[in-house]
Amino acid sequence: MRSGADKSSGGSQGDESREQWLARLAEQSRQKQERFMNNISERLRHPRMTTAPKHPYRGAPDFWRELDWTTEQKIDAFSDNWLSVGGHVAKLGSMDEVSAFITAKAEEMGAKFLVRQDDPTLAGLGLEEALPDVQVSVWNSDEHQPWKARAAEADFGVVQADHAVAYTGSVVVTSSKEKGRSVSLLPTVLFIVIPAERLKTRLGEVLIGLDEAGREALPAGVHFITGPSRSSDIENDLTIGVHGPGVVYALIVG
């Protein structure tokens, strides 16, 4: 039976050797790939790149290694990059000014529900007293509450940044049982309190710190926020606020 099967298999290849058969399959695959790529190129109305682009430089340029920006340079670069993607920035001198800013926005926008991280710095803002007509909730302060639902119904979310990156205009927020990811993800409007000393020049400074902390010290989640939620379909129709807050304020303190 084995010899019959072998004979049948060989007959299907005709007079081709195994090497010729594999070469023919490879050529068919290459032609199919060419047709596929040409079809994409035609649809994009862009000529295909048939040779690899030249890379005259290798590795990071010297300026990329410079990490000695002043605090003001970091604030200015972060603000420019944050604003360029539709975020809002306020430079404030103290936590009292942060509290007053959020209070004024709550009154201006008619906020009714606010959720914040369970954080001593945010507790010091005194939002509960400053906003008596707003239901202020503290993440995970009551084990019987459906906290994701509370965050989803919140008009305002208030978090403190663990880091901010000037070069990309990004904020880094970690999550834990006191600092749920939902606080920065689900409310309609997000306020991120950024102490000026937590501003880094480049993202690598943040990543090195996380790596050096070791696996056991890693937070439950590390989240990068660069302005409001921006989503686009295949036709490049931009929509704001679909997968996160549509309005995001970076409040730089110091």
CATH number at residue 153: 3.40.50.10420
Residues 95, 194, single domain; the answer is yes
Task: Determine, yes or no, domain membership for 1.
Answer: no
**Which residues touch 211 (CB under 8 Å, ≥6 apart)?**
none
pLDDT at 233: 67
Task: Determine, yes or no, domain membership for 187.
Answer: yes
CA distance linking residue 75 with residue 73, whole number of Å: 5
Least confident of 100-104, 202-206, 247-251: 202-206
Residues 205, 123, single domain; the answer is yes
**Which residues touch 47 (CB under 8 Å, ≥6 apart)?**
41
Residues 125, 190, single domain; the answer is yes
Mean of pLDDT over the chain: 89
Task: Determine, yes or no, domain membership for 4.
Answer: no
pLDDT at 164 over 70: yes
Which of 201 and 60 is assigned the larger pLDDT? 201
**Which residues touch 131 (CB under 8 Å, ≥6 apart)?**
103, 106, 111, 114
Residues 121, 245, single domain; the answer is yes
Task: Determine, yes or no, domain membership for 60.
Answer: no
Residues 119, 41, single domain; the answer is no
This prediction has a pTM of 0.74
Task: Determine, yes or no, domain membership for 87.
Answer: yes
- DSSP states of 214-254: -GGG--SEEEEE-SS-EEE-TT--EEESSSS-SEEEEEEE-
pLDDT digits (tens, 9 = 90+) for 213-234: 888 888 989 999 998 877 766 7
Q: Is 144 helix (H, G, I), strand (E, B) or coil?
A: coil
Residues 147, 117, single domain; the answer is yes
Burial class (CB in 10 A: 0-12, 13-18, 19+), 8: exposed
Residues 40, 155, single domain; the answer is no
Sheet of strand 199-200: strand arrangement? 199-200, 163-165, 170-175, 221-225
| C-beta contacts of 134-141 below 8 A and 24+ residues apart | 134/106, 137/113, 139/115, 139/178, 139/179, 139/180, 139/182, 139/183, 140/177, 140/178, 140/180
Task: Determine, yes or no, domain membership for 92.
Answer: yes
- Which string of b and e fits 232-252 if b means at least 16 CB within 10 Å? eeeeeeeeeeeebbbbbbbbb
Using pLDDT thresholds of 50, 70 and 90, give the confidence band for residue 250. very high
CA distance linking residue 226 with residue 206, whole number of Å: 15
Residues 199, 99, single domain; the answer is yes
Residues 78, 148, single domain; the answer is yes
CA distance linking residue 248 with residue 216, whole number of Å: 32
What is the count of structural domains for the chain? 2
Using pLDDT thresholds of 50, 70 and 90, give the confidence band for residue 2. very low
Residues 155, 233, single domain; the answer is yes
pLDDT at 122: 98
Residue 139 vs residues 30, 57, 96, 176: alpha-carbon distances, Å: 56, 48, 22, 10
pLDDT at 6 over 60: no
Residues 85, 34, single domain; the answer is no
Residues 191, 160, single domain; the answer is yes
Which of 192, 204, 197 has the alpha carbon at shortest distance from 72?
A: 197
Task: Determine, yes or no, domain membership for 121.
Answer: yes
Using pLDDT thresholds of 50, 70 and 90, give the confidence band for residue 17. confident
Range of the domain at 24: 18-53
Task: Determine, yes or no, domain membership for 122.
Answer: yes
